Structure 1
Amino acid sequence: MAGNSDPLTPRAKLAVTAGKAVAAASRAAGRGSGSVIGGRVALKLDPDLLARLAQNLDVVLVSATNGKTTTTRLIAEALRAAGEVVSNALGANMPAGITSALAGGSEAKFGVIEVDEKYLAGVARDTDPKCIALLNLSRDQLDRAAETRMLAENWREGLAGSKAVVVANCDDPLVVWAASSSPNVIWVAAGQMWKDDAWSCPSCGGVMQRPGDDWFCGECGFRRPTPTWALSGDHVLDPHGSAWPIHLQLPGRANKANAASSAAVAAVFGVPPQVALERMYQVQAVAGRYDVVQFEGRDLRLLLAKNPAGWLETFSLIDPPPTPVILSVNARGADGTDTSWLWDVDYTRLTGHPIFVIGDRKLDLAVRLEVANQHFQVCDNLDQAVQMAPPGRIEVIANYTAFQDLRRRVGN
């Protein structure tokens, strides 16, 4: 297994040891998991460390704007049927965090790695993946990733001629355009609820036609490929036309789509759909997402929604009115500092819910809700919102750093 047949160089071993020591010191100081700072130190000492750590692993890369952390977790569970897995399960998805994760898995057979969209091409170069899963591309962190098509182009150039099997969502035109440069693509019909980033053709700029679930460009002929795997209700259809039931503890259509893509990836490594899907049932929550926690005598369900596509999927999960809903939005570095995306979210879907607004940018959100004719109250913090909320389980929806703040407050 890894680390045995091709041991790390002395320099690489030193880098791993130093990185782990720095990570441990960071944890001891209460500054989080330490994986990012540990990885940075290790890569400074050996810039080729990521490639060295990956060389004896069968690597799967997972990238997308939405769903990559959950899908990484589902694929990791499925592949454990075939061998030991190392994964960056907590979502540290840039090179430093990925290096840190792989440094902890010397006996692993598989590396299942979530990768930030901007770093996919570089990480693919370093890790020589056997499989790459591409789920979706949508607007996110507008100050950092200005245009989804630029990301798609970055993927397309970075994956051109790649030896990896690319498992790609054929319902997202941007993903299809990005994946089409690869010689070996498995298309999955995973669906696409949010369509506002794909009205113009990524290939020629023409207007996309969208009859039913199909799509094509009327000008250049770029069109939806025929899938060999598909999500169909509560089942995954495999290339032979067999329907396999999806039983997940994770809620919602988006997670069924993640499971369909994960089953297609598992099959690349010889894990049959039935085995893969049964193993996915073990996943109850992913880095706190979907957890139901007790706080101030109430049940709170914690839901993460980072961008318009994520908010749209999350609204479809919540219990019907009059379930109270707490919304929390920050705009720190990790969220993106531009909150104009709030205007792309259809908050009329919350009509009938008592809404409570918290977070650094609660006033931005309040203006947006006012325009959407929603009834809401602005609160100072989670404690006050919970006290004011009417009885029953509370749905709490937050973007990235707001979600981390909530987890710390509720002790999750």
Structure 2
Amino acid sequence: MAGNSDPLSPRAKLAVTAGKAVAAASRAAGRGSGSVIGGRVALKLDPDLLARLAQNLDVVLVSATNGKTTTTRLIAEALGAAGPVVSNALGANMPAGITSALAGGSEARYGVIEVDEKYLAGVARDTDPKCIALLNLSRDQLDRAAETRMLAENWREGLAGSKAVIVANADDPLVVWAASSSPNVVWVAAGQMWKDDAWSCPSCGGVMQRPGEDWFCGECGFRRPTPSWALSGDHVLDPHGSAWPIHLQLPGRANKANAASSAAVAAVFGVPPQVALERMYQVQAVAGRYDVVQFMQRDLRLLLAKNPAGWLETFSLIDPPPTPVILSVNARGADGTDTSWLWDVDYTRLTGHPICVIGDRKLDLAVRLEVANQHFQVCADLDEAVRAAPPGRIEVIANYTAFQDLRRRVGN
């Protein structure tokens, strides 16, 4: 736990040093941050390194299909009120990237760690977290991820009997089912805009009833737990019934939900909601997301959306028509190579917006927009798409590697 200053073993120190050297070489060669390759080398030299690095930290793990990078950043900002924080702020969320991040935080008291959904159980085993935040589960990367109920089962088994405080979204039945195996759960009413992965009961397979904001299974009685924290408009309601205003520079309802969950996590560590929420105001953008950049005399707002749930939330925060929208989709390894998820997105929400389509899989997206009766044009690249729009604001929505391509092109 924090305060215990066991020095790292010579082997662990060698692993950390070697990992940092490899990461630095990777950066110098222009191959990205180097955090993943550095972490891989370090773990090869000392397979227990992640556990050793975590043993002196109070650890928070954050996992979800959507919002984990932003929520990790908000929690890290909030816990900074109580002491130094180390975090994998750039989103390298598998064991190698996490190891690399913790290796750089020798003075930290708290470790705030984003974890890929499939690695949560293993990372929780290694890091002995004090708190785990579970935000949502929905379809994503269909070629590599098990379907959502299997992921929920993986969480449920991996977290059974965990000593950690689980801060979980009471509005997502899959998350509730996964968290219910834990003895200590703090329920947050954070909302659930995308419901298409939770129409059948994860416990018995029965049909889920959804009257209003409530949900329950008519067959086995599995139902929404009573939340102790809630997002209510522009406020977070705490367990004592006090309402705390949310002031964020990040847009949209989804980020208010992320802030509500983050406030509940901060409270586990003794940081009051008012202090936590005030600190979250500092966050203007997260790894380039939500940034507005000047490019070719236009103002481009860069928005990341990786799966149907993410696209739905993103459509809810773009400026009204006739603001132009550029959509960019790739299907490289980090995105998942299966683009059938595009058919799960309701593109009629873009009616009235001039749309330009770019990216490796622009033709897949064009077919989908054609079926949705949207007016669009297919462009060769970002420059052509921007030239097609009048001066002023453009909303640019991209999935993961397409987003990285965009950031490189606009110098962000």
Same fold (TM > 0.5): yes
Map Cα deviations across residues 268-293 of structure 1 (whole Å, 9 max, x no partner).
Answer: 00000000000000000000000000
Q: CA deviation at 1:182?
A: 0.2
Map Cα deviations across residues 376-411 of structure 1 (whole Å, 9 max, x no partner).
Answer: 000000000000112320000000000000000000
Map Cα deviations across residues 41-90 of structure 1 (whole Å, 9 max, x no partner).
Answer: 00000000000000010000000000000000000000000000000000
Fraction of identical pairs, as percent? 96
| Contact 2:2/2:58, CA 8 A, preserved across alignment | no
Distance in structure 2 (CA, Å) of the matches to 1:392 and 1:60? 41
Map Cα deviations across residues 184-223 of structure 1 (whole Å, 9 max, x no partner).
Answer: 0000000000000000000000000000000000000000
Distance in structure 2 (CA, Å) of the matches to 1:52 and 1:5? 11
| Contact 1:2/1:107, CA 8 A, preserved across alignment | no
Distance in structure 1 (CA, Å) of the matches to 2:2 and 2:197? 41
Give the corresponding residue for 1:302: 302
| Contact 1:324/1:392, CA 8 A, preserved across alignment | no
* 3-state SS, counterpart of residue 392 of structure 2: coil
Distance in structure 2 (CA, Å) of the matches to 1:174 and 1:14? 42
| Contact 2:297/2:391, CA 8 A, preserved across alignment | no
Map Cα deviations across residues 269-319 of structure 1 (whole Å, 9 max, x no partner).
Answer: 000000000000000000000000011111100000000000000000100
Distance in structure 1 (CA, Å) of the matches to 2:326 and 2:115? 30
Give the corresponding residue for 1:247: 247
Give the corresponding residue for 2:373: 373
* 3-state SS, counterpart of residue 309 of structure 1: helix
Distance in structure 2 (CA, Å) of the matches to 1:204 and 1:224? 15
Matching of residue 139 in structure 1 with residue 139 in structure 2: yes
Give the corresponding residue for 2:78: 78
Map Cα deviations across residues 73-121 of structure 1 (whole Å, 9 max, x no partner).
Answer: 0000000000000000000000000000000000100000000000000
Distance in structure 2 (CA, Å) of the matches to 1:5 and 1:306? 40
Distance in structure 1 (CA, Å) of the matches to 2:61 and 2:350? 35
* 3-state SS, counterpart of residue 182 of structure 1: coil
Summarize the alignment of residues 127-276 of structure 1 with structure 2, pairs less than 5 Å apart.
127-276=127-276
Distance in structure 1 (CA, Å) of the matches to 2:244 and 2:288? 28
Q: CA deviation at 1:4?
A: 6.9
| Contact 2:85/2:110, CA 8 A, preserved across alignment | yes
Using the size of structure 2 for normalisation, the TM-score is 0.99
Map Cα deviations across residues 322-343 of structure 1 (whole Å, 9 max, x no partner).
Answer: 0000000000000000000000
Distance in structure 1 (CA, Å) of the matches to 2:272 and 2:146? 39
| Contact 1:236/1:260, CA 8 A, preserved across alignment | yes
Summarize the alignment of residues 277-288 of structure 1 with structure 2, pairs less than 5 Å apart.
277-288=277-288
| Contact 1:3/1:107, CA 8 A, preserved across alignment | no
| Contact 1:139/1:308, CA 8 A, preserved across alignment | yes
| Contact 1:3/1:106, CA 8 A, preserved across alignment | no
* 3-state SS, counterpart of residue 377 of structure 2: strand
- Mean Cα displacement is larger for which, 143-152 or 206-215? 143-152
* 3-state SS, counterpart of residue 240 of structure 1: coil
Distance in structure 2 (CA, Å) of the matches to 1:115 and 1:317? 26
Distance in structure 1 (CA, Å) of the matches to 2:149 and 2:189? 21
Distance in structure 2 (CA, Å) of the matches to 1:185 and 1:3? 26
* 3-state SS, counterpart of residue 393 of structure 1: strand
| Contact 1:133/1:167, CA 8 A, preserved across alignment | yes
* 3-state SS, counterpart of residue 139 of structure 2: coil
Map Cα deviations across residues 153-212 of structure 1 (whole Å, 9 max, x no partner).
Answer: 000000000000000000000000000000000000000000000000000000000000
Distance in structure 2 (CA, Å) of the matches to 1:156 and 1:266? 23
Distance in structure 1 (CA, Å) of the matches to 2:404 and 2:362? 16
Matching of residue 101 in structure 1 with residue 98 in structure 2: no
Give the 3 Å change call, closer, same or farther, for CA 2–269 of structure 1 in structure 2.
closer
| Contact 1:2/1:106, CA 8 A, preserved across alignment | no
- Mean Cα displacement is larger for which, 138-147 or 248-257? 138-147
| Contact 1:59/1:113, CA 8 A, preserved across alignment | yes
| Contact 1:172/1:192, CA 8 A, preserved across alignment | yes
Q: How many residues were matched structurally?
A: 412
Q: CA deviation at 1:3?
A: 8.9
Distance in structure 1 (CA, Å) of the matches to 2:272 and 2:310? 30
Q: CA deviation at 1:2?
A: 6.3
RMSD after superposition: 0.9
| Contact 1:87/1:101, CA 8 A, preserved across alignment | yes
Give the corresponding residue for 2:57: 57
Q: CA deviation at 1:253?
A: 0.0
